[in-house]
Structure 1
Amino acid sequence: MLHLSADKVLAELKRTNDLRARHAAGRALEAFSNEEGAREELATSSALDDSRLFEFFLAGGGTDMTISLTLACVWVVAAAIVAFLPMRMQYVPGLTLLVLAVPLLVYIGIQHSFWVVLLAVMGLVSMFRRPLWFLGRHLWGRLREGGT
């Protein structure tokens, strides 16, 4: 079992330059410290830490979004823009997005798990439910006719 004193955590909090480690050390100190002086030190360190942490995220650090999920977000925005177009102008960009969805789903599957792909497929089906329903009925009709 790990035994840490408030002094050790404060020393680590002052020593480290890594903002995430400082933030975690500050939260750990808050969890098991009952000393008044340690709480005052934590309050000043935490306020300083939060402002630096905000700067850290503004600079682009700490964001672990993969390229595949970024492309999926761009795809969703493009699909929403296409949805605002009049119906007669939606066919070409809509079909393009539908065709691009397949390699995008494969790419998401390579970088993430099956469950993330399943969520992406659910989003795809939700956004393209009517075109997919029409395409399914059309293909089912062609299969019933004999494939012509």
Structure 2
Amino acid sequence: MQPHWPLTLYYDGDCPLCAREILLLRKRASSERLSLVDISREDFQAETTGYSKETLQNRLHARFADGEWVTGLDATLWSWRAAGLDRWAAPLTWPALRPVLELGYRLFCRLRPHLTWLPHPDAGQRCTDNQCNSKDPR
């Protein structure tokens, strides 16, 4: 597959683990290769993607500049490649390992909504005037 950059990655900024990965991607990727869209923001309009917000929250989604969508592990693979993390992305392409990684990804997707107790890397920036933008109950 020949990628048509940039890749737009739709991620849940309320997820502490997801936010940590996004910090890494943001540091490594140029805007010519990767655009990051936080679907947890109040101003995010899911209808512009053709998917519901619930669908976007249930599985990672990314769209190339030519309109082609990739989801799940493939969205992770291409976002890591966009950030120049090819060495880390390579195992996601190994046929023998792929079923195990898919199973792990599906398990993570089920557990992810219950991980809000983990420390969020943007915790200080997410709270202003005694209000937090996070759905974290603390």
Q: TM-score normalised to the size of structure 1?
A: 0.24
Q: Tell which structure's C-alpha radius of gyration is larger.
A: 1
Task: With a CA cutoff of 8 Å and minimum separation of 6, indicate the structure with the bigger relative contact order.
Answer: 2
More helix by proportion, 1 or 2?
Answer: 1
More strand by proportion, 1 or 2?
Answer: 2
